[in-house]
Amino acid sequence: MTVAADLRFFPSTDGDLAYLDAGSGDPVVLMHCGFVDHRFWADQIPALAAEYRVIAPDVRGHGFSANATEPFRWPDDLAALLRHLDTGPAVLVGVSMGGVIVTDTALEHPDLVRAVVTCGAATGDFRYQDPWTQGIQAEYARTLGAGDIEGWLAAFLRVVPGEHRSADDIDPRIMERLRDMALHTITKHTPGETDWHVKVTDSWPRLPEIDVPVLALNGTLEPVELLDAAERLARTVPNGRTETIEGVGHYLNMEKPEEFNRILLDFLRSV
């Protein structure tokens, strides 16, 4: 797979981290979900770049970014990139894993954050302790360890949208995009390799520290546990609210990009 001509690289202390940098204006950072990369935001980047500077990194170990060879934390990687770019406080937007990264960054590096949008996520505590999320991760490990792309997609669609629909209800172009990104990321790794990621813990009790506007935006087909966690997040931070997009699950920005973009742009213009 060739590297996009406009993809840039930040020389971190543990290898190069890839990112897309488009548009101009106030900075907006887009953090993708697990096993994919910056292309997850293909339907958002042009719409946002008309008004904002859009920065879309590949999380370490994903896409075109280097794999870890030593302990690291997601928010520290993002903070290092933003300081390298000298962007000032940014609005952070994340889906699933990316949603945890943006809330973690708001807690660990508040000077770099102007507002937060989290989708399909709440905090690291929910991700690491919730039985539903742990079940997903176990299924990921089983299918990804075998290099089973189709199994991974089927598992995700079965667990996240649940009984409301089947894979046949998903636009095949979305499936193909996810398959392509996941295959690229999976092939960067080997079964049983060391997981160098260091978790940010005790995030639930610290939520009142996030004193910037927070939007928890989710699809209505997400599991009730996740929707409840998003409500809890919005209630606990000083300035939070929730919003939903009807009839979509985890990949809400891919399934209903126009509605997602409208809600996101309205939020950006309000902060």
Convert the pLDDT of each residue in 59-93 to its tens digit.
Answer: 999 999 999 999 999 999 999 999 999 998 999 99
Contact between residue 207 and residue 122 where contact means Cβ atoms under 8 Å apart: no
Residues 208/135, Cβ–Cβ less than 8 Å: no
Q: Residue 54: what pLDDT?
A: 98
Ranges of the chain with pLDDT below 70: 1-5, 127-167
For the chain, what is the radius of gyration of the CA atoms?
17
Q: What is the pLDDT of residue 67?
A: 97
Output the pLDDT for position 130: 56
Q: Which amino acid is at 97?
A: M
Domains of the chain: 7-127+196-270 (3.40.50.1820)
Work out the angle between the directed axes of helices 97-108 and 74-85 (0-180°, nearest 10): 70
State the pLDDT at residue 249. 85
Pair 44, 29: CB distance under 8 Å: no
Q: Looking at residue 158, what is its pLDDT?
A: 45
Whole-model pTM over 0.95: no
CB atoms within 10 A of CB 267: 20
Report how far residue 180's alpha carbon sits from residue 159's, in angstroms, rounded to the nearest whole number.
21
- Edge-to-edge strands of the sheet including 53-57? 7-12, 15-22, 53-57, 27-31, 90-95, 113-119, 214-219, 240-245
pLDDT of residue 237: 97
